[in-house]
Structure 1
Amino acid sequence: MKNWIYAALAALFATGCAPHGGYTLTGEVPEAWEGKPVVLFTTDAGQAEAIDSTTVANGKFRLQGVLDAPRNCRVAVYLDPENRLDRNLTVTFPVFLDSTAVNAVCDASKSDPVFSLAGGATQTEWQAYRAALEPLAEERNRAFRDYVEAFYNGGDEAKGIELARRVDEKAGLIRDFKIAYVREHPASAVSLAIVQELCDRQSRLDRAQMESLMDALAPQARESAAGRYAAACIRDKRIVEGQPLPDLELPDAEGVVRRVSDFIRPGHYTLVEIWASWCMPCRGEIPFVRRAYDRYHRNGFDVLYVSIDSDAGNWKQALGEEKMPWPQLLDTGRTSFTTYETSAVPTSILVDGEGRICRLNARGGWLDGVLEEIYGK
């Protein structure tokens, strides 16, 4: 099946990167949006950059301009022009633009408007790639649903560990598919977007694998604005399995400033968990971390929690309610988000006795599975 998919995609996009030059993006939206501003942003080279804008007229909009390479973009329609920061009053959709025309049609019949896109060489390629990937993604999602049912709802730890490993296997097949796509379409802007996705944040690729993927891209892709940004992100990336965990200085519950490295001991494994008192998944995970801690702490398993609560009172109240037996640090400025390259809680990182990252996403069945491998059942 995989070979057939690759062959079909190769036949569709044998020309490689879509031609550069002028783009055209037309849109059809509700007439109630008359006069609303429409802004086009590039999103593939760091911070979003507005490159074009227009307004809705007679239920339609049109954006035209020139790009020096196909770009991964996002369009925003501001339903309240005076309040552009309110996400509930902003409708957005992603789109790949090159020198071919794309048309976007909005279905506003539901509470969240949805855009359907047609046309455009690179956009069409992206949609074909996503369609080919969908069966693998559904297998992974199905395995994850089974895992949640067994581990959290069914209380079956052994089956949960087994299913967590199955989820990893399915995720590995997805990574293999993406890597193969990049190597078979080295000049494609879609391939560059895949590289950025595979190397982003809590990536399971090591640095050598990331650099190999960048090297697989054609020169015009590597030398584009998005390509240069991707290369810089890989070069500067700190949260990579096998690499040292960056250090942080933060106050503990008594106000004493401590280092994260103070809690990493030779010969021990330490779970560093970024959490918050208001985060229900974080709170829901605590009993499972406690179970692992009670079972393996005597063997050398330690835990350190770093809260991003902005209100120290709420944090201390949660500490009193949860009565966790491991140390706690408070990060009101959320420096841990930047340092540990995340934007969400919970974020779980397992490090070894030398402070090297040995497992990302170390929670639930994944944490139990790794600890079982280290310490035995």
Structure 2
Amino acid sequence: MKTNTLLALLITLAAGSSCTNPTSSYTVTGSIPDTTFNGTTIYIHNRDDNRIMDSTTIENGSFSFIGKIDTAVLCFTQIGREYYTNFMLENGTIKLNMEKPNTPSGTPLNEIFTSYIQAEDSLNNIYQSKAEEIKKQTTDQTEARELFKNYYITEWKPAYIAMLTGFVNKNQDNYMGAFALQSLANFMEPEELEPVIAKSSTFIQSRNVIQRLTQRLESLKKTAEGQPFTDFTVEMENGEKVSLSDYVGKGKYTLVDFWASWCGPCRAETPVLAEVYNQYKDKGFEVVGVATWDKPEDTKKAIEELKITWPQILNAQNIPSDLYGFNGIPHIILFGPDGTIVARNLRGEELKTKVKEVMQ
């Protein structure tokens, strides 16, 4: 499907009605084919404020939540590792298919949410198809990267932004607008996103998820390239306190890797970090790992498994992500000798190229 045709489809999907369901209570039903979960408690979790909204017991492979809610909100329910789904909790009868995540039905906002997921899936499928097409088009990896980068910037990303913007504009009075606006943060710079937030309804701006997003944008601006580093101190497992300033701003270029033992992409980046560390460590260059969102014992085990030899700050948890505004790992930042932020979100070949550039 051509991008302009897809865009028209996505805008149509985003134009779904946001009417209010007059029912004064909700019933959420679903089934679990695995009988081993019979007798297990299942919960509804609020994605906006992380509260547990409701609970019930799985009986004969089925569950049913009954209650009432004043303002609809995005929630999720999960049992085990296999059965998980997001849905909009609003008054009315909601049906969940635990074997097909993110396909709720039965109420107006869940129909809109499902259309959002369909639009997202369509774009992601086109993304993968284009990647396969470029692989067949050229065997030159450099050329392939440039072709795909150009496609992403000129076609795919604008289509995705248009899809999300459509959902934001058509859902100013309900949580779908806030959800789509939060997703826009993955594709826009802070200075691009701030006007969108400012023009949004009071309802959207008052949601916790958007207030947290606003705070994250402020953190990103404070820690943008060219800004001085923001220090933090972590108390490690043994009670020792370690600060970022123990390593950054000490006269060396310092690459700081925010990572976790459970993160596959983080582990995959380790050979790249090892390569630049071994190449430049005797030339005024340092690498430091900062374990975020991880248990110290798991971090230590991963350090041994991955044969990591550069310094590590353990048990940082949410401190770095709150200060530096990142919401995914690995997040790798290059700091200059005086602590100035040189580059953010470095990975792979781009990381090696940047380090080589500053170390020449």
**Secondary structure at the counterpart of residue 84 of structure 2:** strand
Residue pairs, 1:84-95, within 5 angstroms: 87-88=80-81, 91-95=83-87
Counterpart in the other structure of 1:208: 191
User: Which residue of 85, 90, 93 maps to 1:98?
Assistant: 90
Which 10-residue stretch deviates more, 255-264 or 20-29?
Answer: 255-264
Q: Distance in 2 between matches of 1:207 and 1:52?
A: 35
User: Which residue of 51, 62, 65 maps to 1:63?
Assistant: 65
Q: Distance in 2 between matches of 1:72 and 1:3?
A: 25
User: Which residue of 215, 231, 235 maps to 2:215?
Assistant: 235
Q: Distance in 2 between matches of 1:360 and 1:168?
A: 20
Count of residues paired in the alignment: 341
Residue pairs, 1:1-377, within 5 angstroms: 1-9=5-13, 11-13=15-17, 15=18, 21-30=24-33, 32=35, 33-45=37-49, 47=50, 49-77=51-79, 87-88=80-81, 91-107=83-99, 117-141=104-128, 158=142, 162=146, 165=149, 169=153, 170-171=156-157, 173-199=159-185, 203=186, 205-223=188-206, 227-235=207-215, 238-240=219-221, 242=224, 244-249=228-233, 259-265=243-249, 270-275=254-259, 281-282=265-266, 284-292=268-276, 303-307=287-291, 310-311=296-297, 321=307, 328-332=311-315, 334=317, 335-336=319-320, 339-340=323-324, 346-351=330-335, 355=339, 357=341, 359-368=343-352
| CA spacing shift, 1:128–1:213, aligned 2, 3 Å | same
Shift of 1:364: 0.6
Q: Is the 8 A contact 1:137 1:174 kept in 2?
A: no
Q: Distance in 2 between matches of 1:235 and 1:333?
A: 19
Q: Distance in 2 between matches of 1:221 and 1:277?
A: 35
RMSD: 4.6
Q: Distance in 2 between matches of 1:27 and 1:165?
A: 42
Q: Deviations over 1:279-308 (max 9, x none)?
A: 775454344235456778899875433356
**Counterpart code for 1:55:** T
Q: Distance in 1 between matches of 2:28 and 2:9?
A: 29
Q: Distance in 1 between matches of 2:162 and 2:359?
A: 30
Shift of 1:27: 2.1
Which 10-residue stretch deviates more, 287-296 or 213-222?
Answer: 287-296
Q: Distance in 2 between matches of 1:55 and 1:142?
A: 42
**Secondary structure at the counterpart of residue 181 of structure 2:** helix
Q: Is the 8 A contact 1:16 1:187 kept in 2?
A: no
**Counterpart code for 1:349:** I
**Secondary structure at the counterpart of residue 118 of structure 1:** coil
**Secondary structure at the counterpart of residue 67 of structure 1:** coil
Which 10-residue stretch deviates more, 174-183 or 157-166?
Answer: 157-166
TM value normalised by structure 1: 0.68
Q: Deviations over 1:301-338 (max 9, x none)?
A: 7543335672597587579x455xxx523324545455
**Secondary structure at the counterpart of residue 54 of structure 1:** strand
Q: Distance in 2 between matches of 1:359 and 1:38?
A: 44
Q: Is the 8 A contact 2:242 2:313 kept in 1?
A: no
TM value normalised by structure 2: 0.70
Q: Distance in 2 between matches of 1:339 and 1:54?
A: 38
Where does structure 2 lack aligned partners over 5 or more consecutive residues? Answer: none
Q: Distance in 2 between matches of 1:313 and 1:104?
A: 40
Q: Is the 8 A contact 1:274 1:305 kept in 2?
A: yes
Counting aligned pairs with the same residue, the percent is 21
| CA spacing shift, 1:287–1:167, aligned 2, 3 Å | farther
| CA spacing shift, 1:161–1:51, aligned 2, 3 Å | same
Q: Distance in 2 between matches of 1:147 and 1:250?
A: 45
